[in-house]
Structure 1
Amino acid sequence: MQRVTLTLDDDLVRDVDALMHARGYQNRSEAIRDLTRSGLNRLKTEAAPEATYMGALVYVYDHGARELSKRLTRHSHDHHDLTLSTLHVHINADSCLEVALLKGSGQALQQFSDEVTSSRSVRHGQLVLIPET
């Protein structure tokens, strides 16, 4: 491990300290290491969209919305080669949460995610990509 000296403005240090306390990091170095890893991972994903990634697509939708369940199932079947597993949870009388574990090119996973999360009555959605390494 190498020691690196950084100069940060006061506002940025306050933001790092707030993150450190909110997430329970033991020190600034741990917080900055995680932020650096996250930023580098995002840049790698943008630079190499054809590379293979593991992904988790999490979304919440209104299960009572007309034909939505059928459309979401159709999206999954159209991209069956990307899907490793799915989890379906009934949150309440109106909402369901699904988690799709995916594997494929970053570009294909992002396209699938965009199709699902932009569907009408999908309330929340987020894709997390992790390089296959």
Structure 2
Amino acid sequence: MSIAVNDVLDGVMDALASQYPGVTLVAGDAGEEHPRPLFAVRLVSVKHNREMGRRYRFSHEFNIQYAAAVPTYRGLHDVADQLYSTLQHITADGGLIRGSGMRHEIIDGILHFFIQFNFHVLSVVTPETKMQAAEREVRPK
């Protein structure tokens, strides 16, 4: 398998950095010490299920919080509208992953944007080492 958890996180961070070049980006929870405007990208959960054979299904759910320098209700909804298109696809490990299950809400002047990235991965098959001939010495008693 080639896509690591941090590859997906990096894909989200890269998409936000290219769309919002002057905005502070933080992986994890936003603290008061970070300047506003700010995106805090938090990976909420990762699911990993084996399907058939070498095929695995991964699901990464994110809560992306946006704290504006001067939050306004309409301004936060404008940012949410932009996130729906900005995060529709991200690049992770050289491939595109589609975002789904997108929704947002505003809580205490902070935009919370929720998104999932679901994808399949084939595990790498390593060639088996064949048993080599063993020499055995037999001594009669």
Q: Which has the higher contact order (CA 8 A, sep 6+)?
A: 1
Structure 2 length-normalised TM: 0.36
Q: Give the structure with higher Rg (CA).
A: 2
